[in-house]
Amino acid sequence: MSGYLDCGRFRLTLQRPLVMGVVNVTPDSFSDGAQHFRTAEAIAHARRLVDEGADILDVGGESTRPGAQAVPVDEELQRVVPVVEALRDCGVPVSVDTCKPAVMAAVLQAGADMINDIMGFQAPGATEAVADAACAVCVMHMRGEPRTMQDAPVYDDVVGEVGGYLADRAAALRGRGVAPTRIVLDPGFGFGKTVQHNYTLLARLRELKTGDYPLLVGMSRKSMIGAVTGRTVDRRLGGSIAAALAGAARGAHILRVHDVADTVDALKVWAMVEGVRA
């Protein structure tokens, strides 16, 4: 581990787990006025997450939940670009969650510091869109595509297959000139995995630490939490915190969460026990 991540205008040290706060720019198909309102809401929410201690923001304008339909490029741009422009001076790096090379190029121009691609930069032109920038790149594993990925996924060896995929994608990015200090890997909890696959990946997270790349994990409020607790998505804070701490204890460097303040508190207590700085 190099001990840091080059993330656009920022160099993040990885001595303690970092918290990435989720900022959804919610869809609105009714009118332009409503979209302006959604934009303002997303910006206000993001600023609140920074106040709560978020180390990174992850802005997303494309619904990637299981079964979700694709969003056209121009609509995704309308959602995310104004939010990135407003947040570029908020004090923390701004990541954008997108699979589309055209969106990647536009948000990098607008000031984004990181691109988070659940498709692992596999779309034609995606590696080229990030190669010459200074942004960090998060490569996530997904089996299938969002619309169909939860249709009974099967693996012989989920840890080996996910780890192999992430290593291959990292090598492809490096082959295009992306420096290793810009790359983050993510097993993609909930993306084409059963509940058992997700917990196997979490339990054996350390085995995914191939190469020198930091790991990002996103389990916040997901169905893997609901499956164990029996809670609906609005009641999954306790389970999500437990998953985040389990990830941190197994070497996750970045925790992607909705509930920043509570996760930051949990990490402070955990860090006191573990003797790491938080």
d(CA 28, CA 78) in angstroms, rounded, equals 11
Smallest separation (angstroms) from ligand 8Y7 to the CB of 190: 6
Length of the chain: 278
Interface contacts to ligand 8Y7, rule CB under 6 A: 22, 60, 64-65, 97, 116, 118, 138, 140, 186, 188-189, 216, 218, 222, 256
Q: How far is the CB of 145 from ligand 8Y7 (least distance, A)?
A: 13
Q: Give the other-Cβ count within 10 Å of 233's Cβ.
A: 11
Pick the closest to residue 54 from 25, 13, 20, 97 (CA basis): 20
Q: Which is nearer to ligand 8Y7, 42 or 216 (CB)?
A: 216
Q: Catalytic annotation on 250? A: no
Distance of closest approach, residue 66 Cβ to ligand 8Y7, in angstroms: 9
Of 60 and 214, the one with the shorter C-beta distance to ligand 8Y7 is 60
Determine whether 176 is an active site residue: no
Rounding to the nearest 10 degrees, give the CA dihedral for residues 200, 61, 53, 92.
Answer: 110
Q: Per the residue annotation, which of 222, 235, 236, 277 is the catalytic one?
A: 222
Edge to edge, the sheet with strand 94-97 lists 183-186, 136-140, 114-117, 94-97, 56-60, 18-24, 254-257, 216-218
**Min dist. Cβ of residue 161 to ligand 8Y7 (A):** 17
Which one is catalytic: 169, 182, 193, 256?
Answer: 256
Smallest distance from ligand 8Y7 to CB 57, Å: 12
Query: Which residue's CB is nearer to ligand 8Y7, number 78 or number 95?
Result: 95
Task: With CA atoms as reference, report the closest residue to 61 among 107, 18, 93.
Answer: 107
**Residue 106 or residue 243: which is nearer to ligand 8Y7 going by CB?**
243
- Is the Cβ of residue 20 or residue 81 nearer to ligand 8Y7 in the bound state? 20
Give the DSSP per-residue string, 51-110.
HTT-SEEEEE-S--STTPPP--HHHHHHHHHHHHHHHTTSSS-EEEE---HHHHHHHHHH
Distance CA 112, CA 71 (A): 20
Enumerate residues 6+ apart whose C-beta is below 8 A from 265: none
C-alpha 269/C-alpha 278 separation (Å) is 9
Report the catalytic residues: 222, 256
